[in-house]
Amino acid sequence: MKIALIAHDKKKKDMIELAKKYQNLLNRHELIATGTTGTLLTKETGLPIACYLSGPLGGDQQIGGEIAQGQVGLVIFLRDPMTPQPHEPDISALIRICDVHNIPVATNLGTASLLLSGLNDKLTKC
């Protein structure tokens, strides 16, 4: 499954810790990410990640296009709800496209952990 990983600046540390915790699971999937997030994750975890543009430069839209084409099965988007984002319309469009195509999307650590734990359990039982 292709999994998209996105994190706002103040959530990148959380994303790195999440990726480390689920590294064995994530290593079994195709990973894509917005630019800075993907670069940091690869540096910190060694996970192979295809990096797209930074979110504000169109990376969210690139991932949204892949979702619309049925190429992404899960999105982890750790959002910072306390900081205004200049590309908020792109963020809303990405979440909307997930809803339109029934793609699970986590916007916080709690939901991300539940989704990844569930995916791990499903793969372990196979």
How far from 21 is each of 14, 50, 91, 109, CA to CA, in Å?
11, 20, 26, 12
CA distance 118 to 104: 12
The fold of the 2-125 domain, in CATH, is Rossmann fold (3.40.50)
Position 8 pLDDT exceeds 90: yes
pLDDT of residue 126: 63
Report residue 72 as tokens: 């992404």
26 within 8 A of 47, measured Cβ to Cβ: yes
Q: Is the pLDDT of residue 59 over 70?
A: yes
Q: In what order do the strands lie in the sheet with 49-51?
A: 49-51, 30-33, 2-7, 74-78, 105-106
| Full-model pTM | 0.95
Average pLDDT over residues 31-53: 97
Name the residue ranges covered by the structural domains of the chain.
Answer: 2-125
Confidence at residue 87, expressed as pLDDT on a 0 to 100 scale: 87
Residues forming the active site:
60
By C-alpha distance, which of 91, 92, 81, 74 is closest to 18?
74
Binding residues for substrate: 8, 12, 34-37, 54-55, 87
Q: What is the mean pLDDT of residues 51-56?
A: 94
> Could you give the CA distance from residue 67 to residue 71 in angstroms, rounded to a whole number?
6
